[in-house]
């Protein structure tokens, strides 16, 4: 078996920042630390933090008053922040700056009395948070067919935003249809889909045709991981989204195949290596790393944690 190991893959800057934030919060305040929604959409990461004393909740009401609360990388609505203040929670914010950028765009357009078309997936934590910034101004668009049913009162005040973890191809198809119907629609000067999502999709797009099988490391509720699997499947290549080697469909694999391995932006490198080790052991696989693009993005920690992080480094 030959393994093509795609790079870049795995953790993005926003996930690194969120995970480091939770780790530092646990060290600074001790367990339990409550987290609003999963810190990132990865079962391995969530389970590991549960063992350390993190408690993941879907409602602010689940958090006892005066407790420590961390907002996840996906962002939250103003209503959620207000609820945390009402319960006197010590809240720390690990929202990815690229998600914050979309929130600020939504606020800006809403203040200008624009109608905002948000391209994204209903129920996704990021979409819920963004729509919460201006619920009266935002319309969710999930598919191309949604566009025909739109009724916009003032088409001269219309803008679109996107969820950061979408398929670039899918988003571009929807944007094209939106622009055909609303030629004067506005958009932010810089697109919303995050650099890491685009880079991982680009790697699959460029490398998948050389493989018989594509393995995407990531959890089922990870939007960007699902898009990687979808991208390979759309090219007619058998693709699997797995949390780790325990999920391998060994009956689908043999030692004559070329396997492309990548990982979603919330999947840890350790599970990638465990999966590679499993294939090396069972199929005598060799590994070839293919780097499509270098990444050097880094996001700062939330301000309340920066000084503590510096203290730990000095010890």
Catalytic residues: 126
Indicate the helix (H) or strand (E) that contains 117: strand 115-119
Say what angle helices 223-234 and 168-181 make with each other, to 10 degrees: 90
Task: Please state, as a whole number, how many other Cβ atoms lie within 10 Å of the Cβ of residue 75.
Answer: 27
Q: Cβ distance 21 to 301 under 8 Å? A: yes
Task: Kindly state the helix (H) or strand (E) to which residue 105 belongs, with its residue range.
Answer: helix 97-111
Q: CA torsion 223→25→82→61, rounded to 10°?
A: 80
Q: Where is 148: in which H helix or E strand?
A: helix 145-148
3-class DSSP assignment, residue 103 = helix
Angle at 239 between CA 233 and CA 244, to 5 degrees: 145
Angle at 140 between CA 136 and CA 143, to 5 degrees: 160
Give dist(CA 97, CA 103) in Å, integer: 10
């Amino acid at each position: 078996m030959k393994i093509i190991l795609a790079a870049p893959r795995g953790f993005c800057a926003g996930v690194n920042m969120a995970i480091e934030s939770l780790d530092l919060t646990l060290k600074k305040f001790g367990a339990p630390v409550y987290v609003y929604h999963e810190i990132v959409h990865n079962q391995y990461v969530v389970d590991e933090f549960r063992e350390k004393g993190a408690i993941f909740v879907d409602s602010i009401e689940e958090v006892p008053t005066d407790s420590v609360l961390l907002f996840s990388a996906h962002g939250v609505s103003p209503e959620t922040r207000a609820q945390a203040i009402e319960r006197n929670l010590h809240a720390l914010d690990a929202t990815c700056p690229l998600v914050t950028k979309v929130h600020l765009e939504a606020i800006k357009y809403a203040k200008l009395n624009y109608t905002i078309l948000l391209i994204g997936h209903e129920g996704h934590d990021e979409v819920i948070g963004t729509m919460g910034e201006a619920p009266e101004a935002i319309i969710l668009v999930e598919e191309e067919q949604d566009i025909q049913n739109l009724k916009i009162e003032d088409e001269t005040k219309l803008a679109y935003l996107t969820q950061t973890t979408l398929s670039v191809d899918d988003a571009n198809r929807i944007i094209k249809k939106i622009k055909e119907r609303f030629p004067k629609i506005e958009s932010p000067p810089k697109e919303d889909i995050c650099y890491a999502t685009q880079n991982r999709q680009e790697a699959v797009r460029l490398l998948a045709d050389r493989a018989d099988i594509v393995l995407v490391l990531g959890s089922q509720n990870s939007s960007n991981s699902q898009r990687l699997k979808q991208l390979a499947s759309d090219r007619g290549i058998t693709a699997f989204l797995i949390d780790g080697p325990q999920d391998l469909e060994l009956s689908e694999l043999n030692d004559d195949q070329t396997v492309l391995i990548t990982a979603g932006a919330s999947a840890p490198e350790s599970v990638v290596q465990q999966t590679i080790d499993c294939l090396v052991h069972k199929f005598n696989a060799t590994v070839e790393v293919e780097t499509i693009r270098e990444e050097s993005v880094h996001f700062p920690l939330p301000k309340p944690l920066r000084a503590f992080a510096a203290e730990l480094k000095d010890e």
